Structure 1
Amino acid sequence: MKNCGQASLEYMTMLALSLIIFVGILYIATTLITTSSIQVNVDAAYRAVQDIKESADFIYVHGHPSRIQTNIRIPSNVENITLNNKLIRLRVSVGSMYTDIYAIARGNITSNLGICSSGICREGNYLFVFTSTDPATGYDVNITVV
């Protein structure tokens, strides 16, 4: 009878160690998944900024009356979009903090975007229209969303 109690104690010890190892692996996997999803959203925001910059530079180089359309994906964690003068900036939430992803265009930019209305930016694919403006206005590129 004494050996039976010892065997059950050994089984409980092995079960406890197995559960501790399983919980550790589960915690590490969850952390990696969360980190990778944040990294994917930041990368998508970086690609969006670069696409906007390249299209604005294309219009600037080709001059008035150039016009192109570009499909750009805005990720879910974008808090603010700024397109003015030569600055293209997306403020992205990373956990409880923010990071700014920006680029500087060649020409002065003016924009009328309806993506971030009332402080909420909606994720999705948007059709951006880049138009060269008359040089007398002081701006080189106008960006709108269709």
Structure 2
Amino acid sequence: MILVTAVPLHAAAQHADVTPWMTGERLVKLLGNVDPATLHSAPTSPFRTRAIAAEYRDLTNGEFVHGYIQAVHDATEGKEWCWSDKYQPHPDELEADARQALQLMSDTQLKRNAAVLIAEVWRNKWPCPATKRRDR
């Protein structure tokens, strides 16, 4: 005899807190220097030394962070923060402000989504006038 128990769908699908994939903490870690001692050396590694591998990892991490910040820029400009006659941040300034602000945030703040944190930094510095904000 097979016993089948019916479970209401709402009981089976419980809400769970989801940690963002790219937290502020993770992004800040990518801003730091890679310690060569933490890298595993493999016989098939294209690098002669761990120091060279660490330099390469630093370079690729920096490129990733740069691209991530540019993507946040594209996704949020005109919605979360705005260019205007009064506020005309240069791309270098946007990235520098994002990096600096992240490095100054508390551990609690850095648990949040990195993109949201960056947009908040820019919104505080370059707010959108109510008449120019685009729909999200």
TM class by smaller structure: 0.3 to 0.5
Whichever structure has more strand as a proportion of its residues is 1
By relative contact order (CA 8 Å, sep 6+), the higher-ranking structure is 2
Report the structure number with the largest CA radius of gyration. Answer: 1
TM-score by length of 1: 0.32
Greater helix percent: which structure? 2
